């Protein structure tokens, strides 16, 4: 069983090939031939997607008519590497709700992060590690060292 037949079986559920062909306005012979050849046409995939109220782009991707890059879901890591520093800073600023991200370019990264944090969380009290308090749920060192007998 090829990938096209697997996809078609998953989409059609209990409908016969004849029923699918009738729903999309083609002959069952055409649908069968293309499915068996593992080469459903773009138009048939689109028609099947519409008939079964499915996302067309996802089905075109699943059947090999589109690549992830064609619909904007290419590798995120590659996109991040390709983005300029300015684009990254502007996007981070946008996500943090900052209107004036241009000033972040003029500061060391530590100050830019602090400013962005203050802007995003003005009422949050975030302490540094040197201000940590003793918490009762935190494990403490044993009073005595364990021995081999324990």
Please say whether the beta carbons of 46 and 60 come within 8 A: yes
Query: Which candidate, 10, 11, 81, 83, places its Cα nearest to that of 46?
Result: 11
pLDDT per residue as tens digits for the range 29-55: 999 999 999 999 999 999 999 999 999
Mapping DSSP to helix (H, G, I), strand (E, B) and coil, where does residue 115 land?
helix
Query: Model's pTM, two decimal places?
Result: 0.50
Give the domain ranges of the chain.
Answer: 3-71, 76-123
Compute the distance between CA of residue 139 and CA of residue 150 in angstroms, rounded to an integer: 19
pLDDT per residue as tens digits for the range 4-26: 999 999 999 999 999 999 999 99
Helices marked H in 63-108: 76-82, 85-95
What mean pLDDT is reported for the chain?
78
DSSP 8-state secondary structure symbol assigned to residue 134: P
Residue 90's pLDDT band, with cuts at 50, 70 and 90, is confident
pLDDT greater at residue 137 or residue 76: 76
Give me the pLDDT at residue 121, please.
Answer: 46
Give me the pLDDT at residue 105, please.
Answer: 63
Give me the pLDDT at residue 125, please.
Answer: 53
Integer Rg of the chain from CA:
29
Determine whether domain 3-71 maps to CATH 1.10.260. Answer: yes
Give me the pLDDT at residue 122, please.
Answer: 46
């Amino acid at each position: 069983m090829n990938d096209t037949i697997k996809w078609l079986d998953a989409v059609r559920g209990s409908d016969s090939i004849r029923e699918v062909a009738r729903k999309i306005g083609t002959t069952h012979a055409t649908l069968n031939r293309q499915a068996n050849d593992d080469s459903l046409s773009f138009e048939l995939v689109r028609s099947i997607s519409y008939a079964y109220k499915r996302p067309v782009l996802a089905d075109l991707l699943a059947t090999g008519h589109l690549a992830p890059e064609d619909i904007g879901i290419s590798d995120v890591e590659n996109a991040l590497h390709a983005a300029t520093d300015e684009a990254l800073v502007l996007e981070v600023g946008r996500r943090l709700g900052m209107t004036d991200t241009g000033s972040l370019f003029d500061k060391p990264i530590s100050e830019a992060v602090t400013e962005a944090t203050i802007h995003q969380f003005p009422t949050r009290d975030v302490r540094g590690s040197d201000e940590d308090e003793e918490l009762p749920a935190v494990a403490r060192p044993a009073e005595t060292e364990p021995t081999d007998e324990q």
